[in-house]
Structure 1
Amino acid sequence: MNNIDSFEILKSIEKANKLTLKHHSNEITLERAIFLSWWCDKGDCKFCYMSTQKDRIKESSKAKRQVNNIYAEAEMCARLGWNIEFLSGGYESFTTLEIKDIAQNIKNITGKGVWLNTGITNELDQFGDEIIGITGALEVANPKLHDEICPSKPIDKISEMLSSAGDLGYKKAITIILGLGETLDDLDYLIDYIKLNKIDRIIFYSLNPHEGTEFENESQPASLYYSQVVSTIRLNFPKIEIICGTWIDNLANIGILILSGANGITKFPLFKMFASRYGKRVEQEVKWTGRSLKGTFTDIEKLGKEESEINNEYTDFIKRYIKKSKKI
């Protein structure tokens, strides 16, 4: 699409906004992915910082997070009213049964099952009601580019996993990163993929160029391009849940992405931004869309006591999170 019609983009956003309000609540959620590890056995997605970590051994204590740290983070999310976007980790960092146990404990903490984004697996039948849904890391909205950029994540294997998830009664989601070389013309493929695989949720991110990757010198996608992608998906799928990620240096994207169809926003360094001018900016962006915000990015009182309300073994980590949040 070479001829950009800004008027048509604005009309698309307006229609998407009306459609979102018709089929969804007025509430915008704050979403946080909880990472289980910084190791990936694949380690070859060309945009991912894990592709720069190949020299780190899998057994390194830095590769896997301490589970009590994970649980403390989940407790803090519950205190602040944040949703857990999904549990995410690199391939082979945790076993299926370990992930199941982590998910169950988080459900016990938050009262909600969790989404998973832990790679392609054929062991979904090992999970139970601690899981809400399964996320396929489709990543690139162009199959040819996907094969080049994510060579160890075959699309057909992702689709097979999502099909199995549906058969087991789980919801299905995909992640898409914008700025990897795709264009608006690739939306036809993405729309067909959502239809064919009966996707319930889509999570968009903008490229975050990591040093040492092939994309380190690339720019993040333009805000109106991002919004056109989101509004197009909303117009084609009125009831789908859309989560949009943006970075601390692009907070001005939030308002337009919400008006384009986003139900939730994500990809923030929560405890570094909390109660800072950045956290206030997030809340202002939501306010000016006319939406209400579920959870808080500024209310110090919601941080609560420096002791865990769930398990004393989490307390040291709770203290660190609160200290980090009050530091700014």
Structure 2
Amino acid sequence: MIDTAHSTAVLEDIQLEPQELQALIHRADTIFKAHFPQTVCFERAIFFSWGCTIGDCTFCYMSTQPKDKPPRETKRSSESILAEFIIAKQLGWDIGFFTGGIGVLKPDEQEQLLKTASEIIGEKIWLSVGPVAKPLLQKYLPYIKGVVGSTETINPELHKIVCPSKPLAPYERMFEAAKELNLKRAMTFIVGMGETHDDLKLLIDFIKKYQIHKIHIYSLIPQKGTMFENASIPTAEDQAWWIANLRIAFPELDIQCGIWEDRIAYLPLLLTSGANSFSKFRALNLFGTKLADDVEFQATLTGRSFVGTLTKLPDKTDENWNQEVDRLSLDQDMKEHIRVKLFQYLNQMRKNLNQKSQPKSEIKKQGMIDELHHP
């Protein structure tokens, strides 16, 4: 049971103004508590590439990549992707979606990765790879629970500016096809690109029209080399306003909020506003660090219990981890490649944990040793 007085204290600590916003968030929090368990989890979006065949969304990191590099050359190796799925499963992270640049993976490549990934996590996966035609959705049906439309914003004029080559219409067709196939539908919305509160009605109407099950509410990350490079970072209150209004409009909607390591302190307010879960934390790189400690602490300030972990590795021997690879329905050569990547990730995570437990003087000394060996 959540301590209501404690939740109110969280709001007061953030010094919300005006009072109308505080009342809005309190109402959203009450609705959330009536419809969901009092838990919070981290969602991991697993990427398969860092390039995109569109590459001109004016807010996106992928738009800053060298134009002379073919997007297919930005693919991650299959073994690194699958090793990450193993870690996510064992640490209790939800898989927000499997994603990457539009047009980077061929359908057969995508199908094989989806098949193995769903085998690893023991359930179907959300897929976010741009608009997907109905025949391909049918092909992926054994492995996907739903599709995510990277809609970004619903205002038609703003959408033309921020996603000039990624119109909404193909996503709308995908949502219709998904409905026919009994697949769930999710979408993304980024706060801070020029939307206004008047756009809320457009967003609500869109969610109703396509019977959206889940929405990812992010706030703009000003990327160097984009038109938003010098834009102001949205405040916690900016992001919370959208979350709270959607929670009130849709009591059972799954709402996921995106943070970043410079916005960890946003988390209590975003959860109190009605978000179910959070993402956009670099969990592999920052696992077991002070920042990861802070994320778990902030996430529980509202009284919710934290599901999974960003700070503790499971009590597994190397042999136990090897068994996770051995049980996969893959050839031995691929298993060996996955094993190598898995232990690369685990060794870095263990290193983070060891550094956190060392006195500062020992960490500095180890850093000097690392520099000598890896200039």
TM-score, normalised by the number of residues in structure 1: 0.95
Residue identity matched to 1:30: F
- Determine the structure 2 residue equivalent to 1:37: 49
- Determine the structure 2 residue equivalent to 1:325: 349
Residue identity matched to 2:57: C
- Determine the structure 2 residue equivalent to 1:21: 33
Aligned residues: 324
- Determine the structure 2 residue equivalent to 1:266: 279
Alpha-carbon contact 1:38-1:50 (below 8 Å) kept: yes
Separation in structure 1 between the aligned mates of residue 232 and residue 252 of structure 2, nearest angstrom? 31
Distance 1:322 1:160, change over 3 A: same
Shift, 1:27, TM fit: 1.6
Alpha-carbon contact 2:72-2:104 (below 8 Å) kept: no
* Aligned counterpart for 1:235 among listed residues 228, 248, 265: 248
- Determine the structure 1 residue equivalent to 2:67: 55
* Aligned counterpart for 2:109 among listed residues 87, 98, 102: 98
Alpha-carbon contact 2:49-2:101 (below 8 Å) kept: yes
1:283 aligned to 2:307? no
Alignment of 1:71-90 (within 5 A): 71-90=82-101
Residue identity matched to 2:128: N
TM-score, normalised by the number of residues in structure 2: 0.83
1:205 aligned to 2:229? no
Separation in structure 2 between the aligned mates of residue 288 and residue 154 of structure 1, nearest angstrom? 39
Shift, 1:288, TM fit: 1.0
Separation in structure 2 between the aligned mates of residue 86 and residue 304 of structure 1, nearest angstrom? 29
Residue identity matched to 2:223: H
Residue identity matched to 2:43: E
SS where residue 284 of structure 2 aligns? helix
Distance 1:225 1:142, change over 3 A: same
Residue identity matched to 2:250: F
Alignment of 1:99-114 (within 5 A): 99-114=110-125
SS where residue 183 of structure 1 aligns? coil
Which whole-Å deviations, capped at 9, do the CAs of 1:245-302 have from their partners, x for residues lacking one? 0110010011111010111100011022211111111111122111011100111345
Distance 1:237 1:195, change over 3 A: same
Which whole-Å deviations, capped at 9, do the CAs of 1:58-102 have from their partners, x for residues lacking one? 2664x1111111000000001100011101111111012221211
SS where residue 139 of structure 1 aligns? coil
* Aligned counterpart for 2:155 among listed residues 114, 118, 142: 142
Shift, 1:310, TM fit: 2.1
Residue identity matched to 1:91: I
Shift, 1:57, TM fit: 2.3
Runs of 4+ in structure 1 over 6 Å off: none
Distance 1:59 1:117, change over 3 A: closer
Separation in structure 2 between the aligned mates of residue 9 and residue 48 of structure 1, nearest angstrom? 30
- Determine the structure 1 residue equivalent to 2:167: 154
1:315 aligned to 2:330? no
Instruction: Say which structure is richer in helix.
Output: 2
Q: Which has the larger radius of gyration?
A: 2
Percent identical among aligned pairs is: 36
Shift, 1:7, TM fit: 0.7
Distance 1:160 1:299, change over 3 A: same
Alpha-carbon contact 2:91-2:313 (below 8 Å) kept: no
Structure 1 gaps of 5+ residues are: none
Residue identity matched to 1:33: A
Which piece of structure 1 moves more, 228-237 or 137-146?
Answer: 137-146
Shift, 1:48, TM fit: 0.6
Distance 1:294 1:302, change over 3 A: farther
- CA RMSD of the aligned region, Å? 1.6
SS where residue 249 of structure 1 aligns? coil
Which whole-Å deviations, capped at 9, do the CAs of 1:123-160 have from their partners, x for residues lacking one? 32221221010000110142210111101111111111
Distance 1:291 1:160, change over 3 A: same
SS where residue 209 of structure 2 aligns? helix
